[in-house]
Amino acid sequence: MPRTSTEFPLFLTARSAPRSTVYAAARRGQLRPLAPGLFTSDVETPLEELVRERLLAIVSTLYPGAVISDRSARSGGRPAEDGSLFIVHERTRETSLPGEIVIRPRHGAGPLEWDMPFVGELWLASEPRALLENAVLTRGRGPRVARTLTRTELEDWVESMLVQRGPEGLNGLRDRARVLAPQLEMAEQFQLINGLIESALGTRRARAHSPRLRARQRGQAYDPERLELFEQLRHALEERSPIVRPLLDPLSRRYRFLPFFEAYFSNYIEGTRFSVDEAVEIALHERIPANRPADAHDILGTYRIVSDPGEVSRIAQSTDDYLELLRRRHAVVLAGRPHKRPGEFKQERNEAGGLLFVDPGLVAGTLGHGFELTRALTSAFARAVFQMFVVSEVHPFDDGNGRVARIMMNAELIAAGEHRIIIPSVYRNNYMMGLRGMSNNGHAEGLVASLDFAQRYTAAIDFSDLETARQQLQETNALREPDEEAAGLVRLELPAARRGSA
């Protein structure tokens, strides 16, 4: 714990006690100056660190009753990229703090209805107030950021509010802004905000500056955070040397039972678990067990797609074709689960493992942008990885997203005459860790490496005969449980490596 004087609060001004007392304590080392007229009783923590961790408490001490406003209200009280923090207060003198932080006050109304008590004696401007105040056009001076949002940033904010709150919530914000506008003398700014909200809701056609708002006007609204993630993956794939594993003879008997095991594993790792023998009866003989018809149809539907050379090698040529292809493949995979709305995009936002997927209203637009980025990649392996991640990250359906994502992945490889990728049950955790690393942290290497190895593994297995394939899969631990791999008991091995060590 940092050493502090118990005689004084953590932060105080020269006006909060007799000046002689404050300056005498500073001379004794009980206080340290942070800025002109501002002191702290923490005499050990580096000043830049102290400011970074307790900035809002400092602002509350210096400017009691201030309202965090303008650009800073949009960021929830975080300083702008140049270190500026914007507030409304009766005192308008700027304060520079260690760490290149500058508190930039201006005159304006104090706390109003819907403003929120924030930290100490600070308030945070409500969203309707912040919308109005950010509709004032300002310009930065030199390297300084402008006090208010740019028109593009303001449009992006309105569009994101629509995603988060829906039309009813956005209309509610507009109603509150209408009430506040006379109090702030911002009738003109309200008209601007009203027009932006009408544009977002589709009740007015107006020229938009923001690509996001323009996309919404075209009916192609997208998730900007996912697009940023897609760009990171695209860049990482383009930076790598191409991975090319061509099939020498796509019609060779060696791959005869590969589609079966692709369907088997793709369902197994999603929790639809049968023994290999049971799955053979379902996929190859279409014998549906009476006690698990829906699970059986999952395997059968997946197998019907991945075993059809014409269907599984089809690549979309346009965004509309791509969306239709996704829906059609999903309809086949989930045909046995009508309550999961096979072939229809989700209507409610879904999540898995704490990760929230794309909002239903942004599914088509985000997928469309992902499709366009996929087409720009020159390597089939890169397109396969990218396409699998796009579908997985958007999660466009109520269920079956992982299976459809892997179908789209292998379609890219098959269309290019390259080896498919299967994810054996024992390898599930490696695959999922790669996905989570990309989703949560933008780390592409784990995902690429896991799929690279999975493709090498798939290419090494002889699928010409069912028993031959099963034996090799058993010998290389492919049929073992992911929990066994997680416990360090087994791992997926390449057939050649295993024979070489025997």
Q: Are residues 234 and 188 in the same domain?
A: no
Name the pLDDT band for 22 (thresholds 50, 70, 90).
confident
Assess whether pLDDT exceeds 80 at residue 232. yes
Whole-number pLDDT of residue 89: 97
Task: List, in sequence order, the alpha helices (H) in 240-349.
Answer: 258-268, 276-283, 293-306, 309-312, 319-333
In-domain check, residue 141 = no
Q: Are residues 177 and 205 in the same domain?
A: yes
User: Is 368 within the bounds of a domain?
Assistant: yes
Domain identity same for 262 and 207? no
Give domain status of residue 2, yes or no: no
Give the number of other CB atoms < 10 A from CB of residue 73: 27
Domain end among 217, 235, 255: 217
HEC letters along 172-211: HHHHHHHHHHHHHCCHHHHHHHHHHHHHHHCCCCCCCCCH
Per-residue confidence band for 6, with pLDDT thresholds at 50, 70 and 90:
low
Question: Residue 344 has what pLDDT?
Answer: 97
366-404: string of b/e by CB count within 10 Å (b at 16+)?
bbbbbbebbbebebbbbbbbbbbbbbbbbbbbbbbbbbb
The pTM (predicted TM-score) of the whole model is: 0.81
pLDDT digits (tens, 9 = 90+) for 297-349: 999 999 999 999 999 999 999 999 999 999 999 999 999 999 999 999 999 99
On whether both 343 and 386 belong to a single domain, the answer is: yes
Local confidence band at 158 (pLDDT 50, 70, 90 cut-offs): very high
271's torsion region: left (phi>0), alpha (psi -120 to 50) or beta? left
Torsion 18-19-23-26 (CA) sign: positive
- pLDDT tens, residue by residue, 34-59: 999 899 999 999 999 999 999 999 99
Q: Which residue has the higher pLDDT, 20 or 176?
A: 176
Among 217, 244, 270, the domain boundary falls at: 217
Number of domains into which the chain is organized: 3
Confidence of residue 85 (pLDDT cuts 50, 70, 90): very high
Of 197, 217, 237, the last residue of a domain is 217
- 263 and 207 within one domain: no
Asked if 197 and 248 sit in the same domain, the reply is no
Look at residues 229, 228, 231, 239 and name the one whose alpha carbon lies nearest to residue 378.
239
Q: Are residues 292 and 169 in the same domain?
A: no
Q: What is the CATH number of the domain that holds 439?
A: 1.10.3290.10
> To which H or E segment does residue 483 belong?
helix 482-486
Are residues 439 and 465 both part of a single domain? yes
Q: Is the dihedral of CA 374, 380, 384, 386 positive or negative?
A: negative
Q: What is the DSSP string of 375-410?
A: HT---HHHHHHHHHHHHHHH--SSS-HHHHHHHHHH
* Residue 350 scores a pLDDT above 70: yes
| End-to-end Cα spacing for the chain | 58
- Render pLDDT for 90-116 as a digit per residue (tens, 0 to 9): 999 999 999 999 999 999 999 999 999
**116, 77 contact by CB (below 8 A):** no
Domain assignment present for residue 128? The answer is no
pLDDT above 60 (res 214): yes
Domain contains 271: yes
Domain residues for the domain of 161 are 151-217
Q: Tell which residue, 350, 440, 366, has the closest CA to residue 400.
A: 350
Q: Which residues contact 60 (CB under 8 A, 6 or more apart)?
A: 66, 119, 120, 121, 122
Q: Is the pLDDT of residue 7 over 90?
A: no
Quick: pLDDT tens for 384-423.
999 999 999 999 999 999 999 999 999 999 999 999 999 9
| pLDDT(488) > 80 | yes
Q: Is 328 inside a domain boundary?
A: yes
DSSP characters over 199-242: HHHTSS----SSHHHHHHHTT----HHHHHHHHHHHHHHHHSPP
Residues 6+ apart with CB under 8 A from 212: 155, 156, 159, 160, 221, 222, 224
| pLDDT band (50, 70, 90) for residue 383 | very high
Residue 142 lies in a domain: no
Q: Are residues 382 and 481 in the same domain?
A: yes
Percent with pLDDT over 70 in the chain: 97
Max Cα separation, the chain?
94
Q: Are 85 and 102 in contact (CB under 8 A)?
A: yes
134 in any annotated domain? no
Mean pLDDT, the chain, rounded, equals: 93
Task: State residue 353's pLDDT score.
Answer: 81
Whether the pLDDT of residue 278 is over 70: the answer is yes
Average pLDDT over residues 478-495: 93
Alpha carbon of residue 198 to chain centroid:
27
Task: Answer whether residue 442 shows pLDDT above 70.
Answer: yes
User: Residue 501: what pLDDT?
Assistant: 36
Residue 158 Cα distances to 148, 169, 174, 196, 207, angstroms = 15, 11, 10, 7, 15
Whether the predicted pLDDT of 32 surpasses 80: yes
Tell me: do 291 and 437 sit in the same domain: yes
Could you tell me if 248 and 204 lie in one domain? Answer: no
202 shares a domain with 316: no
Q: Residue 2's pLDDT band (boundaries 50, 70, 90)? A: low
Mean pLDDT of 74-80: 95
Which residues, 6 or more positions from 236, have their beta carbon under 8 angstroms from its beta carbon? 444, 445, 448
pLDDT for 502 = 31
